[in-house]
Every structure is written in structure tokens, then in C-alpha cells.
Amino acid sequence: MSLCSGTVYIFNYQSQSTIKSFEVSDLPVRLAMWECRRRSPAQNLPEPHPRLTTIEALVCRKLGDPTQPISDGDAEKAIIVEKNHPILELGSPTSVRVKVKATSLNYTNYLQILGKYQEKLPLPFIPGSDYFGTVDAVRLAVSKFKFDDLVCSVAALGSFTQFIVADQEELFGVPEMCDLVAAGALPFAFGTSHVALVHRANLSSSQVLLVLGTAGGVGLAAIQIGKVVGAIVIAVVRGAEKVKYLKQLGVDHVVDLSSENVILSVKDFLKSRKLKGVDVLYDPIGGKLTKEAMKVMSWGANILVIGFASGEVQTSCCYALSPLCVRRRRVGIKDLMREKAL
């Protein structure tokens, strides 16, 4: 299946003779036949569905708590499921439509619906960031993917729906042996951590990485990337079960907040390894824990501001009052999309 000037053409690969069309344009039929033959091997292909006009989507129409109605007279909830939401068209020549099979719920999505995210979104919008799915339709200039390929990606918005449109450069092929549900949650967490650690902080094997909130998605991704880079990784979590799991992942030192003091534990570890301090602080938490962690950092260290799960948003004043010369680096969804670093 391919799209030619907004028109869906379907070629019967088994009979090699029949072409069906929906809203056929003036383009020659031969062009559609040639394009379909060029795209895929002429065997074992399913019959694609007719062109869709509407889909189901989770739409945020008002900002607020998604679990509660907004009391403004009509008691409309912040988010609703629309059964007949208009499907996105394939705009550019390299656009691909993906049928979403799995998508993750991130803390960022919750903040966007509440209206507390750092970037205010115009209403209405479809929440959702990373996703996994199968290629449903492609435009003529698409060369990397074909119908029914397995792909995953991360978007600023829009994955809480049946179909999403992306440029082929934003998609990643997914091997069949991968956990396909996990693939739907991989781009956001690992993408955020990769951009932060590799492209912002330039983390190296000679440095010490301190990760707060390690039991979350971005935290687990950060420690794995840190170990791959060769850094000395210190993780901060709460609970013996999480400590055990992180040690199995090869973390060099784990601090249990339920029974240990962060400063004393980290300082003892650094002393035992004859290390001067923490070179990179990966912080998705904010609040009191961030202020404590800054007391064990080296001169000229990097602070990667990922989020504020504690509910307390750190101000620039907090970092300026530090006795250290630190570099504060903020990482968000747009950094993943803009830098094309993945």
C-alpha cells in the first residue's frame, strides 16, 4: 500500500492483476502499480483496510486532574475518549502512518494534562509520547520502511490514539525478537537519558555518576547507559528489594533512603575508592534530595535537570547558592526531537 497525492492505492500481489483504489486521483494507474511492486516482495502480504477517516483517541480538552471532572457548569472531564477523531493525513513525502500497538504513560504526560508542564500546550491535544506499532501507510518518498514493518518512536504529543503519523527519520525499526510492549516504553526513557548523559554531560569512563530516583524509567535507563559508558555509578532508591535489583544490574554503590543518609553513604563510598566527588548528577526528583546530593559533587560538575517528581520545582537560585561551580543542564522532550541524537 502507498499513498499518491493523498490517495490510497492497493495492488493485489497474489494475482498480480487487480488494483483497488479509494478516492482515486488523476495520477496514472501505472505509477501506483510500479510503486507497489517496488515497495515489498510480492508474497504473503495481507489485504490492507480501506482508507480510514476517523479513529479513537484520548483527547485532553481541558487542563486539570484527569481522574476528576472539572466543575465549570458542564462537568466535562479533562480527558475524554473520542470515538470519531479525525485521522492525521500523511503530509510530507516522507511521512509514515503507524498503527499504535503499545504506548507508555509517563509522568510528563500527567503534567501536561494538569497544565503544570514547563511548556504550555494549546487545547485540545492528544497526550502520549513514546509508542510501538506497525507501519500502516507510507508516502512515495519513504525508503526506510514498508507496510507492516515493526517500528517505535517518541513524539512530543499524540501517541494515545489508534494511529500516529511521523517522518521516517523519526522512526526506529524493531527486531522481531524484542519485547514488543517494552519497545513502546523504550524511546522516551532511554532517549532522555542518552541525550542527557552523552550529549549534554559528555559522561566518560573516568567520571562518577549519581542517579536519583533510580527505580523509575529514566533512572533505570540512566544507570544502564552509565555502565555502558564505563562510569562509576551510584544509585539512590528506597527499599531493600530495589537495592537488590540495582546491584544485579551492576551498580557500583546503592544508597537505601529508608535506612541510610545519602551524604554519609556517598562520601564513605567515594573515600573507599579514593574519588574526589560526583561529576554528574542525574536528577528526575528535585526538592530536598537534590539539595543533599549537591553536597557531594565535584568542582565543575554537571547537574542534569530531568524532572521534579518530588513536587518541588528547583529554582536557579538553588543552584546559584551552591558552593560549587556547577553547570545546570535541562533536558526535555523537544531535546530528543531537535537533536536527532538517537
Could you please report the per-residue DSSP string of 182-239? HHTTHHHHHHHHHIIIIIIS---TTSEEEESSTTSHHHHHHHHHHHHHT-EEEEEESS
Closest to 131 measured CA to CA, from 204, 182, 179, 175: 182
253-256 long-range CB contacts below 8 Å, 24 or more apart? 254/214
Q: pTM of this prediction?
A: 0.72
Give φ, ψ of 228 to 5 degrees. -65, -40
User: pLDDT (tens digit, 9 = 90+) per residue, 73-99?
Assistant: 455 678 889 999 998 888 899 999 999
Q: Is 114 helix (H, G, I), strand (E, B) or coil?
A: helix
| CA-to-CA dists, residue 51 to 87, 320, 322, angstroms | 10, 56, 58
- pLDDT (0 to 100) of residue 1: 36
Print burial letters for 131-158: b (CB count within 10 Å at least 16), e (below 16). bbbbbbbbbbebeebbbebbbbbbbbbb
pLDDT for 75: 56
In the chain, what are the domains? Answer: 2-39 (no CATH), 54-184 (3.90.180.10), 188-339 (3.40.50.720)
pLDDT at position 282 over 60: yes
pLDDT top residue among 336 and 302: 302
